[in-house]
């Protein structure tokens, strides 16, 4: 029984890593599509979202199977619960990447518009945070997970900077209000993606330490 349980846990780890890799690629591609105004590349992200959704369902089913058949306790139980939560956050990040891609398709058909430095900075930081949160999961590295949580403050600040920028642009070009709102949406999706990477890091901290570390990282 113990050997079978360990095989199931190992399979679950591999499945979660597959979802992680797909989501990393999705957010990376959506950011690239935005920077290059590439509607075709953006469509690939949207098309691939269904694949990630199916992967998420399969991981959830594996978790529920383990809980039902093996009734794990202590760190094994924390691991399965954390995988359930991380799996959901990964799926939401993929959804946000698809949302960004949809905005890319819309904006790519419009005249060129100024993109403030806040957005590429947010995009770069979100990708770094996602990679670090997943690395912290693989390595069970609480210090790295804590760093991800602290980096979220910088994302929040960059997101806040977008509002006065967009307000100024709408005042100057009211005929392009819809486009500026879509640009603001891209920043909002990046900010929400950062929130989900923070959730992943918090779950790693819970998995390793057995304590819920929500909004307290020191």
Residues 120-153 have pLDDT tens digits of: 999 999 999 999 998 998 898 999 999 999 999 9
User: Contact, 139 vs 206, CB < 8 A?
Assistant: no
Host domain of residue 57: 2-209
Whether 202 is covered by a domain: the verdict is yes
Whether 215 is covered by a domain: the verdict is no
pLDDT tens digits along 158-167: 999 999 999 9
Q: What is the CATH number of the domain that holds 190?
A: 1.20.58.220
Whether 116 is covered by a domain: the verdict is yes
Number of domains within the chain: 1
Whether 195 is covered by a domain: the verdict is yes
Whether 164 is covered by a domain: the verdict is yes
Place of tokens 């619960």: 81
User: Contact, 136 vs 204, CB < 8 A?
Assistant: yes
Whether 218 is covered by a domain: the verdict is no
User: Contact, 126 vs 28, CB < 8 A?
Assistant: no
Q: Please tell me the predicted confidence (pLDDT) of residue 210.
A: 81
DSSP assigned state of 120: H
Whether 216 is covered by a domain: the verdict is no
């Amino acid at each position: 029984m113990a050997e079978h349980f360990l095989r199931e846990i190992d399979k679950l780890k591999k499945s979660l890593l597959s979802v992680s890799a797909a989501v990393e690629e999705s957010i990376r591609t959506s950011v690239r599509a935005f920077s290059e105004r590439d509607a075709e590349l953006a469509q690939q992200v949207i098309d691939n979202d269904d694949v990630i959704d199916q992967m998420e369902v399969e991981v959830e089913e594996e978790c529920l199977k383990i809980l039902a058949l093996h009734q794990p306790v202590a760190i094994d139980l924390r691991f399965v619960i954390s995988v359930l939560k991380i799996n959901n956050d990964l799926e939401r990040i993929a959804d946000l990447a698809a949302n960004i891609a949809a905005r890319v398709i819309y904006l790519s058909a419009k005249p060129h518009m100024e993109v403030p430095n806040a957005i590429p900075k947010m995009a770069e930081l979100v990708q770094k945070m996602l990679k670090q949160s997943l690395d912290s999961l693989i390595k069970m590295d609480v210090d790295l997970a804590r760093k991800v949580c602290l980096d979220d403050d910088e994302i929040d600040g960059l997101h806040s900077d977008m509002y006065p920028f967009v307000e100024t642009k709408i005042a100057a070009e009211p005929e392009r209000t819809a486009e500026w709102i879509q640009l603001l949406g891209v920043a909002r999706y990046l900010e929400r993606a950062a929130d989900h990477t923070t959730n992943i890091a918090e779950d790693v901290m819970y998995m390793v330490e057995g304590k819920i570390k929500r909004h307290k990282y020191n």
